[in-house]
């Protein structure tokens, strides 16, 4: 027959094992919560419906920029579920989403993008928090604007004697105003407005 001391030791051991099992259960539960969508982690292909346009891509592509919204959404850490057709719906501009995927796959932009495409691509890049793409577009726009300004100033200088009565102050203000995104009518003088309108035509 077991003594009281022996029984107390058995009870303590049982309580110890019970506590260990409880800790393991809590750890498993935390892991289940962290991995909100098992199917995403195991998927080799993800179907997306972006603003009514369908795309197929891989989790690797969507996670190319780790800190982006797309990378977080499709990391498997959140319980997002597909629609009845198996696609994950994103209520954004589907017309430029293909350009987003091309960027994530290659890290490059097509040289044939129109200014309108670049405009909307910038909006979507900012929304999805694609920092590298957003900075690339901003630098590209700045470079193109500076070229326009340089060409405009050269044109103004070439035609100053024949067409307009310009001074150094006008030319400097043209550069400042165009870089800040102003239209010709915002320029400081009629001569400056005519110069830029003539260049843009």
Average of per-residue pLDDT across 22-49: 69
In DSSP notation, 117-145 reads HHHHHHHHHHHTT-HHHHHHHHHHHHHHH
Distance CA 61, CA 65 (A): 9
Element (H, E) at 53: strand 53-57
Q: Is the pLDDT of residue 10 over 60?
A: yes
Q: Is the pLDDT of residue 23 over 70?
A: yes
Contact 79, 36 (CB under 8 A): yes
Contacts of 13 by beta carbon, 8 Å cutoff, 6+ apart: none
- Name which residue leads in pLDDT, 51 or 33: 51
Burial class from Cβ neighbours inside 10 Å (0-12, 13-18, 19+) for residue 42 reads: exposed
Q: Is the pLDDT of residue 183 over 80?
A: no
Q: Structural domain boundaries of the chain?
A: 4-34, 39-129, 143-200
pLDDT tens profile 153-180: 555 555 543 334 445 455 555 555 555 5
Q: What is residue 65's predicted lDDT score, i.e. its pLDDT?
A: 93
Q: What is residue 87's predicted lDDT score, i.e. its pLDDT?
A: 94
Distance CA 137, CA 132 (A): 9
CATH of 39-129 among 2.70.98.60, 2.70.150.10, 3.10.620.30, 3.30.710.10: 3.30.710.10
Average of per-residue pLDDT across 112-126: 90
């Amino acid at each position: 027959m077991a003594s009281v001391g022996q029984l107390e030791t058995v009870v303590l051991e049982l309580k110890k094992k019970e506590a260990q099992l409880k800790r393991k259960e809590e750890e498993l539960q935390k892991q289940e919560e962290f991995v909100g969508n098992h199917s995403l982690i195991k998927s080799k292909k993800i179907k997306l419906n972006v603003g009514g346009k369908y795309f197929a891509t891989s989790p690797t592509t969507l996670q190319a920029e780790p800190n982006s919204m797309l990378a977080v959404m499709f990391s498997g850490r959140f319980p997002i579920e597909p629609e009845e057709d198996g696609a994950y719906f994103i209520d954004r501009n589907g017309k430029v989403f293909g350009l987003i995927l091309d960027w994530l796959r290659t890290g490059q932009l097509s040289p044939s993008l129109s200014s309108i495409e670049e405009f909307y691509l910038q909006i979507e890049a900012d929304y999805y928090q694609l920092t590298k793409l957003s900075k690339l577009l901003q630098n590209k726009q700045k470079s193109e604007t500076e070229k326009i300004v340089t060409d405009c100033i050269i044109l103004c200088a070439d035609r100053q004697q024949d067409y307009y009565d310009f001074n150094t102050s006008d030319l400097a203000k043209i550069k400042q105003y165009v870089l800040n995104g102003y239209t010709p009518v915002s320029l400081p003088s009629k001569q400056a407005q005519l110069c830029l309108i003539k260049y843009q035509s």
